[in-house]
Structure 1
Amino acid sequence: MGKAGRFACIFVPMALTIASLLCLIMVFAAQISKSNNVEQSLYFFKANTKNFTANPNILPNDNIDNKLLSALQSSASSKELKDFYTVGLWNYCEGDTDAKGVSKTTYCSPRQASFWFNPIDVWGLSNTTAQKVFPNKLQDGLNAYHSVSKWMFAAYTIAFWLTVGEIVVGIFAIFSRWGSFVTTIVSTASSVMILAAAATSTALYSTLAATFDSVLEPYKIKASVGTKMLAVEWLAVAFSLGAGFFWLISTCCCSGKSGKSKKVIVEKTPYTYERVASPYLGAREGGHEGVPHQSMPQAGTAHNSAYEPFRQV
């Protein structure tokens, strides 16, 4: 099988690797632009504050902290508190929801490495008592989120560049199975990092959403995890694992070398003739085993003959 067969052999893992990279690009692009609907539909976490009201009479609940409620009411009155907040890998976006339930993003924060969503700053509570009276459960959850978000961002970044490297190295796999072997190693590292990043973000934001709900539900603030983002990141995992499997398969098949031509052995056909030693002319130079070497007879002798004897074989 030649180079064309080798190319066909690595087409599947290469296509799966590219698909995984596209999924990672979507994760990185989420929430970057407020005008792109696709990017806006992808988010790790969403806090819906639309139902919060500054009127305390419609929030009857024994679990309400009056100081925190007062701080949130102050933020809502100054229009610091928007209807929703969506969190991506680099930043967050905020916006309003009209009476028909249509959401419109009005602002996206600048991109920042190792970004984490801090409601105290975003909701304008930094100069209020809420910063000190935030429930311990929520504050502990935010602290853990802040710490793990650094690792999550690093994992996604490493996974992205490893996947790019996998595509580059995979080009050399067209020419040999050694190329496939090296690509398999890179693919394994890439898959591990994508899996780690996806597992971390899923666990992190699921825990954060549960914490928000348990603490802020009395204030009519609802938190949720972005299911579309989860689907994209786990698709990246699936594509990467599939690519690694097929890269491994390509190391033991489809060598890319053309078949070597076999040596052709020509056998003698029956009823052919070959020269034999003549008792008249003597053996060939060096003689045959068991046949004495005789000198060539002189011209004109009785032993001279007009033909050479042959034997039938």
Structure 2
Amino acid sequence: MGKAGRIACIFTPYVVSVAALVAIIFVGLGSTKSGSGTLDNLYFFRADLSNLTSSGGSSLADALASDLGDLANLGSDSFEVALAKSKAEGNIRDFYDIGLLGYCSGNKTSSGSFEVDYCSEPKAEFAFDPVTVWKLNTSSSDSDSILPSNLKKAIDTYKTVSKWMFIAYAIAFGATIVELLVGLFAICSRLGSLFTSIFAGIAFFFTIASSITATALFAALTGTFNSALKQYGMHGSMGKNIYVATWIATAFAFGGSLFWLLSSCCCSGRSPYHGDRRRGRGISAEKAPYTYERVGSPYGGVQPTTPYMHQQAPHDVPMDTFHQSNNYQQRQNAYEPFRHV
């Protein structure tokens, strides 16, 4: 029962840790493969550009229908001009989904559904750059200045924080793998569970840190995006499934760290009879073979331990002074206690 009990003890934290790893993997794979119904719905942020308009409210497509070179009617807004050019040249898709390692784009159908047909190559420390992706580059030295000022600040913050977010997810992923590998040694002893709980705590810390960062970052980005670009018919929204996945990973990571710690306090893995057998062997080795030894008289102190059949009648017991001759034979046949050694 020792090993079996130990395996049963670490079964729950091990399964919970595996579930946390799977959830983190789904977060990382979100928006990395087109045509996958599951991965296409895993995104942190979606920019809907299917209804682009000029700042005056007219459709950019209608404004450019007469003459692409005549942009006077679009005003002096450099962002609006660059947006109109890129839209006319077919560089802007209907929507863009932003994930941890890349982005996906596609067209919006007449029924209102979003169909992904392109995903960028997965990249570490990925950050979506609308100026580059939407091809809004102009001849100015600082192409980022084309964005509205508040949106530019939000994009700059997003680019900086997204690197930290990727590192946090990467550490959480690596720590969870190490946790599962070290957890195999927890079968042997509670000390293995203690070491595993250390890595489980690290995994939980970086998982919850990355989940908080992602949620706060894209909530702020969504608000700024909508306030800055609403006049152009753009709409930003946060995804749902990827946040469910990251917070499920956080919950499982917490459960794993808690259960690993509990498993280090119970289920030692030893057989419950193993220690008793060892103690029994130690005691039998110290004892002499089973013999009987005469117990000292309660009246006259400790008596000689010579064999009973050869022992002479004692004369130092106080009661012997009354019956030294008549009761000698009776004393020889009387009961005398013995000690089991």
Sort the TM-score into its range (normalised by shorter chain). Answer: 0.7 to 0.9
**Alignment equivalent of 2:276, drawn from 255, 258, 261:** 261
User: 1:104 aligns to what SS in structure 2?
Assistant: strand
| Equivalent position amino acid for 2:145 in 1 | K
Q: What does residue 35 of structure 2 align with?
A: 35
Equivalent residue for 1:81? 92
The answer to whether the 8 Å contact 2:168/2:209 transfers is yes
Q: Does residue 93 of structure 1 match 2:104?
A: yes
Aligned to 2:179: 166
Aligned partners of 1:150, 1:171: CA distance in 2, in Å? 32
CA offsets, 1:127-175, max 9 Å, x none? 2677433211111111111111111111111110100000000111111
- For residue 21 of structure 1, what is the aligned residue in structure 2? 21
Which amino acid in 2 is paired with 1:2? G
Deviation of 1:275 after TM superposition, in Å, equals 8.9
The answer to whether structure 1 residue 68 and structure 2 residue 76 are counterparts is no
Q: Which runs of 5+ in 1 are unaligned?
A: 269-273, 291-307
Structure 1 counterpart of 2:222, one-letter code:
A
Tell me whether 80-89 or 130-139 shows the greater mean CA deviation: 130-139
Residues 210-263 of structure 1, C-alpha deviations (whole Å, 9 max, x = no match): 110110011110001111111100100000001111111111111111113364
Does residue 3 in structure 1 map to residue 34 in structure 2? no
**Distance apart, 1:45 and its partner CA:** 0.8
Per-residue deviation, 1:54: 6.5
Q: Distance in 1 between matches of 2:33 and 2:96?
A: 14
**Closer, same or farther in 2 for the Cα pair 1:101/1:128, shift >3 Å?**
farther
Query: In structure 2, how many angstroms separate the alpha carbons of the residues matched to 1:100 and 1:5?
Result: 57
The structure-2 alpha-carbon separation of the partners of 1:10 and 1:78, relative to structure 1 and needing over 3 Å to count, comes to: same
| Mapped contact 1:275–1:309 kept (Cα < 8 A) | no
Give the conservation status (yes or no) of the 8 Å contact 2:9–2:263: yes
Deviation at residue 199 of structure 1 after TM alignment: 0.9
3-state SS in 1 of match to 2:188:
coil
Structure 1 residue 70: Cα displacement: 2.0
Q: Which residue among 199, 208, 212 is the counterpart of 2:221?
A: 208
The 8 Å contact of residues 276 and 311 in structure 1, kept in 2 or not, is answered as: no
Partner of 2:180, secondary structure, is helix
From 118, 129, 132, the equivalent of 1:107 is 118
CA distance in 1, matches of 2:111, 2:79: 30
Amino acid at match of 1:41: N
How many residues align structurally? 282
SS at match of 2:96: strand
Query: Which residue does the alignment assign to 2:299?
Result: none
CA RMSD, 1 decimal: 3.0
Partner residue in 2 for 1:227: 240
Give the letter for the 1:277 counterpart.
Y
1:12-58 superposed Cα distances (whole Å, 9 cap, x missing partner): 11011000000011011111110211000000111011111469553
Offset at residue 277 of structure 1 (A): 2.8
Secondary structure of 2:221's aligned partner: helix
Does the aligned pair in 2 maintain the 1:275–1:310 contact within 8 Å? no
Which residue matches 2:64? none
Change (3 A) 1:57 1:128: farther
Q: Secondary structure at the match of 1:173?
A: helix
Q: Which amino acid aligns with 1:164?
A: I
Contact 1:71 1:128 in 2 (8 A): no
CA–CA distance in structure 2, aligned partners of residues 224 and 45 of structure 1:
6
Equivalent residues in 2 for 1:150-189 (5 A)? 150-189=163-202
In structure 2, what is the equivalent of residue 301 of structure 1? Answer: none
Deviation at 1:312, TM superposition (A): 6.1
Task: Map Cα deviations across residues 78-118 of structure 1 (whole Å, 9 max, x no partner).
Answer: 11111100011111111001111232212111221111011
